[in-house]
Amino acid sequence: MDIASVVGLILALGLIITAILIAPGSSLSAFIDYPSLMVVVGGAIAAAMISFPLKNFLNVGMVAKKVFLNKIDNIPDLIETIVSLAETARRDGLLALETKIQEIENPFIVLGIQMAVDGTRPEVIEDIMRTELDAVATRHRDGKGVVDQMGRFAPAFGMIGTLMGLIIMLGNMSDPSSIGAGMAVALITTLYGAIVSNVFFLPFAEKLGFISKQELLAREIIVRGIMAIQSGDNPRVIEQKLLTFVPPKLRRGEKEAA
C-alpha cells in the first residue's frame, strides 16, 4: 500500500470538505449536484474513450490501482542481489548461476541470468532485455496517457456544464428569485471539474509517471548488471558501476565506511 497516495488523497478531500463546513452560511448539501458530476466525470471518461483504443481505456482501472498498490524495487537491495550473483559466477563459473534462479524473485533478472547460463551471445541478451525494457516503457506511457488526458478533459467539461447551467438559468429569467440558485448550480460544475482533475486524475498520472521511472531505472540497472556478469567483470567493479545510479546517502558501502 502506497501510504503517501492514501494520505494525500484523504488530506486533499478532507481540506476541501472542512473548508465547506466551516465557511459561514454554507452546507455540504449545497455542493452536491448529480447532473454536474455526471457531466464532468462522464464527459471526461467519454472523451478518453474517443482518444484511445478501447483496449488501452479498459486497462485504466488496473493502471490506476498502481497508485495505491505498487511495489517499487529497492535499488540498493537489487544491486546487492546482482553483486551476489556476480560473486557466484566469478567463483564457481557462469553455469553455477542456474542453481540460484529459483531463489531470485525478480523475473527480469531471471530472464537475463537464464540466457547467460544458456550461452546466449552477449549482444543477443542485451537486445532482448532492452526490447523488453522498451515494451514496458511503452505500456507505462500508454496507461499514464489515459489518466493524464482525463485530467485535462475534466476542467473543460466543467466549463461545458457551467455554460449549460447558465443557458438554462438565462432561459428562466422570468423568476428572479431563482437566478442566485441557478448561478450556484452552474458554477458547481466548474468546481467539480477542478476537483476531479487536480485531486484525482492529474496526481494519479504524476504518481504513475514516478513509478514508471523507478521501474525503468531498476530494469536499466539489471541490464547493465547482467551484461557485466556475462562478460566476467569483477564483482566489486560491477558494484561500483551500479552504485552510480544510487544517491550517495543511500549507498550502503559509504554509510558503513562512515
Question: pLDDT tier at 196 (50, 70, 90 boundaries)?
Answer: very high
Summarised one tens digit per residue, pLDDT across range 77-112 is 899 999 999 999 999 888 889 888 888 889 999 999
Helix axes 122-170 and 179-195, enclosed angle (nearest 10)? 180
Selection from 93-102, 164-173, 222-231 with the highest mean pLDDT? 222-231
Task: Classify the phi-psi angles of 93: left when phi > 0, otherwise alpha if psi is within -120 to 50, otherwise beta.
Answer: left
Report pLDDT for 178: 64
| Global pTM value | 0.84
Summarised one tens digit per residue, pLDDT across range 43-63 is 999 999 999 999 888 888 888
User: What would you report as the CA-atom Rg of the chain, rounded to the nearest whole angstrom?
Assistant: 26
Report pLDDT for 256: 42
Q: What is the mean pLDDT of residues 191-195?
A: 94
Report pLDDT for 252: 56
Burial class (CB in 10 A: 0-12, 13-18, 19+), 201: buried
Report pLDDT for 177: 67
Report pLDDT for 181: 66
Largest CA distance in the chain: 91
Summary mean pLDDT of the chain: 88
- Whether residue 86 contacts residue 235, with contact meaning beta carbons closer than 8 Å, is answered with yes
Render the burial of 170-194: b for 16+ CB within 10 Å, e for the rest. Answer: eeeeeeeeeeeebeebbbbbbbbbe
Report pLDDT for 29: 84
Residue 212 pLDDT more than 60?
yes
Report pLDDT for 258: 34
